[in-house]
Structures are given as structure tokens and as C-alpha cells.
Amino acid sequence: TWADLMISLMFGEVHKKKAELMEPYPTVTALVLKVRALPNIKQWLDNAPETPF
């Protein structure tokens, strides 16, 4: 859903930069990893330019 996508985008950056902050939230972490593993999203993330925010 759109909500899953937004949550994964917002918390995905937290997970990427400070994974320990996500430890108390295993369900959110699982959602982030699931959405980021979707083929089209994974391809976009793998090829997206690095940004500071």
C-alpha cells in the first residue's frame, strides 16, 4: 500500500544509518526490509544517487 511505501522510505533511512534505533520495532523493520526487497523498488534503490537526506 501507499502507507507501507511511505513507512519503508521514512524508516528505511533510519534503519540504514542507525539500525540500532530500530531494534525495539521488529515489525517495522520487517516491513522496511520486505518493501525494499520488492524487485522494482530494489532496482530503484540500487541505482538511486546518494543524497545527504
- The reported pLDDT for the residue numbered 53 is 65
From the number of C-beta atoms within 10 Å of its C-beta (0-12, 13-18, 19+), residue 7 rates as middle
Extents of the domains making up the chain: 2-47
Q: pLDDT per residue over 3-53, tens digit each?
A: 999 999 889 888 888 989 999 999 999 999 999 999 999 999 899 888 776
Q: Which of 46, 12, 49 is nearest to 28 (CA)?
A: 12
Asked if 8 and 27 count as a contact pair (C-beta separation under 8 A), the reply is: no
Distance of CA 4 to CAs 7, 19, 29, Å? 5, 19, 11
Rg (CA), the chain: 11
